[in-house]
Chains A and B, each alone.
Chain A
Amino acid sequence: MIELTILGVVFSLLLFYGVPVSFCIGIATLLALFNVTPDLTTAFVVSAQRMTSSLDSFTLVAIPLFILAGSMMNTGGIAIRLIDFAKVIVGRLPGSLAHISCLSNALFGAVSGSAVAAAAAVGATLSPMQRKEGYDMPFCAAANVASSPCGLLIPPSGALIVYSLISGGTPVDVLFVAGYVPGMLMALSVMAWIGWKAYKGEMPSVVHRYSASEAMKITLRAIPSLFLIIIIMGGIIAGVFTATEAAGVAALYTFILGRFFYKSLSWPVLVKATLDAAVGTAVVMLMVGVSMTMSWLLASTGSAKMLADAIIGVSDNPYVLMFMFNTLLLILGTFLDITPGLLIFTPIFLPVAMKLGISPVHFGIIITFNLCIGIATPPVGSTLFVAARVAKVPLGLLTKPLLPMFALEIIALFLVTYFPSLSLWLPELVLGKAG
């Protein structure tokens, strides 16, 4: 119990003081370790060893490769083609430009996995048009914010890979397939609200229609980018690739596409994209390393079990407990980005969930969905800041239009929580397994 107190207190203090999250976890774990190990040197060595050996995983190799693919996509002309494709599909709906940003975010999520990059690309491309057609800009920016995290549920997703590792090896392929429906649900809940506003006549009525030949041209242009989805998910579902190999092939494909077809990847750009991806990887990996050390400490000192028993002692009704869990996490999630959120809360809550009979795959989708809502809210809302910036809207104006969207997303979260088949049906169908 002492370890748990030290961890909790030191971590929160350092976090709010402004120490980088990874070091908050590392330092808090180290101090808690002092209480367990015979001498200080052992604590230092154990910390260093645990941190490093938990990175020794072939599954984790997928993360840098997906980041690299995403980083090449940012500079490789893929984003803009996908947005154009989204226009062809939902352009005819009233309130089209707002719908387009939701669908673009989902499409973007299906080829890469960065909510921030998606929000930035979608916002920067669509905002000028939205302004011109007389859209309510804070509303549009809010739609972009609320829908951008769906890419973290729609595979490929770095978040789900991190969850796979911290949950003790939940299969990545099942998690990936399980993320589709909840991810779509997140985008659809925002689109539903846009549809309602348009139905009430509160949206500009200008629609974007394309002639058959134009639509065909834009679709053809987007096909090479969309083909990534088939490579990644087709490869994984058919059992051709592991997630890591799919990431490698995706990166190679993006490279070939950007270098030889769209001709937008020069060598200097490629080196810069690689370096960016390396830094992005290191930031995530350090966090994974120190969190795995913390998770190991919680498990080996029995703290995790004690905590789980205490939580189950409150109520043994799974519905009540999951309600409490989701509410608590929605609050805590506003302070944490998705990766640290997953890394910190999974080791604490997964044992409880499993005792309640919730499968690790289903739990992974719930916790990721929950934290996705959190990254769109202040104080730590990376996508919120980006979307407001690219739409050139003051942050404060986004709150009001965001509230109903969050309300719908929270309803979707509870649907995903209480109806396991929303997550587990698809993997059972295409992979024949759900765990």
Chain B
Amino acid sequence: MNILFRLKRPVDRLLETVLVLLFFTLFACVIIQVFTRYVLNDPAIFTEETSRFAIIWLSLLGTAYACGRLEHMAYTMFPDKLSGTKLLAHMRSVALMVLAFGLLVMFYGGGKLTFRAFDYEQLSATLALPMGYVYLCIPISGLLIVYYQLLILLNPAQFRPADEVEVALEHIAEEEKKLAAQGIVLDSEKADASTGRKA
């Protein structure tokens, strides 16, 4: 079981890298589309389909990654009332449901869909890319979801739900720190300094 936990870091890093790369692909496609249309007057044809496929991969792999960090929005009034072993049991039960969905719909259903698409040699409209490659992200994502949920089932105490407020505050603190480092003192900061607030 230890091997599963030791894999978490590499799996996280790999997913992060792939997600950032997919994002840049998406971004580049849209920019290339605008550039080729207005500057070169010769719109590229591959950009629209590529960006659509990139967003499917990004969404599904990101879904798995977000599952590993408990970032999917949930209504937490009931679990907020629990603590200790009861909370851990609650986390396990939720993980089990997510695992079932990942396994049955995404891994099994998505896997079947992928095989079917390869078998029928379904091709995409402009790039003539086998659609199987597009659907392939579903079972991969399903497998990753199963993996992350297994980790939660085994040791739920290790996982803490993402806190939107914490993240937003972190951003602001970072920004202020950076501005201060550059010696830029904005009007709002001058006032803050006089109240003795730490940036």
Contact = CB atoms under 8 A, between A and B. Distances in A.
Given A75-B175, A248-B27, A27 B97 contact: yes
A371 interface: no
Contacts of A49: 109, 113, 135
A81 to B, nearest CB: 7
Contacts of A379: 75, 77
A91 B51 CA distance: 44
A154 to B, nearest CB: 19
Nearest to A117: B168
B63 to A, nearest CB: 5
Given A27-B97, A44-B108, A117-B171, A283 B179 contact: no
Interface in A209-263: 218, 240-241, 244-245, 247-249, 251-252, 263
Contact of B187 (A16, A23, A218): A218
A117 B62 CA distance: 21
Interface in A263-278: 263-264, 269, 271, 274-278
A350 B194 CA distance: 53
Given A75-B175, A251-B27, A278-B20, A128 B191 contact: yes
Interface residues of B, number: 79
B165 A248 contact: no
Nearest to A247: B30
Interface string A106-129: 000000000011001100111011
Contact of B75 (A15, A121, A390): A15
B34 interface: yes
Interface in B118-159: 134-135, 137-138
A282 B191 contact: no
A287 B72 CA distance: 9
A44 B51 contact: no
Contacts of A83: 188
Interface in B148-199: 164-165, 167-169, 171-172, 174-176, 178-179, 182, 184, 186-189, 191-192, 194-195, 197
Contact of A285 (B55, B135, B184): B55
Interface string A185-228: 00000000000000000000000000000000010000000000
Interface residues of A, number: 91
Interface of A: 14-23, 26-27, 30, 41, 43-49, 51-52, 55-58, 60-61, 64-65, 68, 74-77, 79-81, 83-84, 87, 116-117, 120-121, 124-126, 128-129, 131-132, 218, 240-241, 244-245, 247-249, 251-252, 263-264, 269, 271, 274-279, 281-283, 285-287, 289, 335-337, 340, 379-380, 382, 385-386, 389-390
Given A47-B109, A285-B59, 10 more contacts: A41-B112, A52-B60, A64-B26, A65-B26, A126-B188, A129-B192, A264-B182, A278-B62, A279-B66, A283-B72
Interface of B: 16, 19-20, 22-24, 26-27, 30-31, 33-34, 38, 48, 51-53, 55-56, 58-63, 65-66, 69, 71-79, 90, 94, 97-98, 100-101, 104-106, 108-110, 112-113, 116, 134-135, 137-138, 164-165, 167-169, 171-172, 174-176, 178-179, 182, 184, 186-189, 191-192, 194-195, 197
